[in-house]
Amino acid sequence: MAAQEQRAVNLTSPVTGRRRLISTTEDKLLFYATFNLSIVLDGCNLVMAGVRDVLMKIPVTLHLNNAESLISIKFIETSGCGKQDAKEITGFIKADHGAEYYVFCVVANSTCTAYYDNSTLPEQYQTAYRRSLLTTADFLDRCLVHAEPLVLENGGEQHCCQECHAGYVLEGCECHVPHGMHCFPADATVRVLGRADAVRMDELQYGDLVRSVDRSTGAVSYKAVYLFGHREAAGALRYVHIGTASGRTLSATPGHFVPVCVEGCTAEQLAQGAAVMRNRRAGDVRVGDVVLTADPSPTFEAVESVEVLTSHGAFNPYVRGADLIVDGVVASPHSDWILDSVAPTWMVPYLPYIYEVLLAPVYGLYCIVGPATAEWLAHGLALAESGASPASGHAGYWAVLAGMAAPLGLTALLLGRNTEALLKRRA
């Protein structure tokens, strides 16, 4: 598992505009998580009741894969707990393994951000911590040169970056971690026609009819898997885990697109085609956003947690004309591809629609040759891997396009000659 990235931390309070006074320096702090204020309020209630030691789970796996550890934490100092008019709540916490944590909550927006002091983390945990959240502050800290904020129609501001720190890639206004794969982990599941149980991504096959949904109406149907952009069982990647109010969790790489509702977010308006959905990268989804779930029937749910955790495998199945339902949450089949590195910010929400058009020849080839041959072309000849890879210039995609264009061009040429000969005979 990769070590937590070390980034600069902005400790200026959004409430007071002053630097928070703590006993460590910014360069020692690393992002740990962002979560709802209700969790900290529960902790405050324990503190007010005289409870100082609490047992909790953390996603650290020193001995077992995909496991959790139980640690004991102690509330050392708190500020704002129990105060009805508190605008901020802060806490200093120590874990039984020695690590020290700082928690900062802004009551007005009901969110809290936790950092840990990397200098206090025992050596055996240095490479085991795998939890972080991509917050607005996170993206700002990745920026080396900031541009002037853009004033939005609603009076707010959008902060843009001109140049990123080393190791990040500028995409539109934000700095993102470059990823070579954009997909779902091996243990993510879908529903397949004719199968009683949910099917894992690493069990999914070409031609399987996967339960899918039309985001414009909420209509559910079964669509054939005609392509895997990635199909890697080995290795581990960092996945964004998006948790909903009902407990469902969608796991996808940061560059994968997820439809988020921005207006008319009710089941009735969805059925009427009045719900407004916008494509957003999984890495840009935030707590409070509204996503579409479909287990069993389509409904909207608020996002309650966003975490980045390490998961195994990389699978990117494509269906035509619909969105996938992955672990009960609706996700686009599409992710970062040919145009993402050059597309302006305004175009990003429309990229999945553009990619749907660009992949039409690939779907056409699948319809002609069938699942078995499509699988051989995609992975036996590695056209899928080279088509998804920027390093190869997406050669696999252009090869398919050329392969489809050649017979069409020959047919057009023969048809043109036959038509010319027929017209000459009639003349």
What is residue 389's predicted lDDT score, i.e. its pLDDT? 47
What is residue 235's predicted lDDT score, i.e. its pLDDT? 66
What is residue 375's predicted lDDT score, i.e. its pLDDT? 87
Q: Where are the domains of the chain?
A: 1-132, 133-178, 189-341, 362-426
pLDDT tens, the chain, 427 aa long: 333 444 445 566 666 666 555 656 656 777 777 778 888 888 898 888 888 888 776 655 444 444 566 778 898 989 899 888 888 999 999 988 788 888 989 898 888 888 888 788 776 555 444 333 344 454 566 677 877 766 544 455 556 777 876 545 666 566 655 545 578 999 999 999 999 999 999 999 999 999 999 998 899 999 999 999 888 887 667 788 999 989 999 999 888 999 999 999 998 999 999 999 999 999 889 999 999 999 888 999 999 998 888 788 889 999 999 999 999 999 999 987 666 666 677 888 888 898 898 888 889 889 998 999 888 887 776 665 544 444 444 444 444 444 444 444 444 555 555 555 555 555 5
What is residue 249's predicted lDDT score, i.e. its pLDDT? 95
Provide the whole-model pTM.
0.54
The dihedral built from the CA positions of residue 203, 209, 215 and 220, taken in this order, carries a sign that is negative
What is residue 421's predicted lDDT score, i.e. its pLDDT? 58
The residues facing 337 across adjacent strands are: none
Q: How many CB atoms lie within 10 A of CB 320?
A: 19
22: tokens are: 């703590």
Give residue for tokens 């070409």: 206
SS3 annotation, the chain? CCCCCCCCCCCECCCCCCECCCCCCHHHEEEEEEEEHHHHHHHHHHHHCCCCEEEEEECCCCCCCCCCEEEEEEEEEEECCCCCCCCEEEEEEEECCCCEEEEEEEHHHCEEEEEEEHHHCCHHHCCCCCCECCCHHHHHHCEEEECCCEECCCCCEECCEEEECCCCEEECCEEECCCCCCCECCCCEECECCCCCCEEHHHCCCCCEEEEECCCCCCEEEEECCEEEEEEEEEEEEEEEEEECCCCEEEECCCEEEEEEEECCCHHHHHCCCCEEEEEEHHHCCCCCEEEEECCCEEEEEEEEEEEEEEEEEEEEECCCCEEEECCEEECCCECCCCCCCCCHHHHHHHHHHHHHHCHHHHHHHHHHHHHHHHHHHHHCCHHHHHHCHHHCCHHHHHHHHHHHHHHHHHHHHHHHHHHHHHHHHC
What is residue 129's predicted lDDT score, i.e. its pLDDT? 43
Q: Which residues contact 99 (CB under 8 A, 6 or more apart)?
A: 116, 117, 120, 121, 122, 125
What is residue 98's predicted lDDT score, i.e. its pLDDT? 83
Instruction: CATH number for 189-341: choose from 2.170.16.10, 2.60.40.790, 2.60.120.1030, 3.30.70.2190.
Output: 2.170.16.10
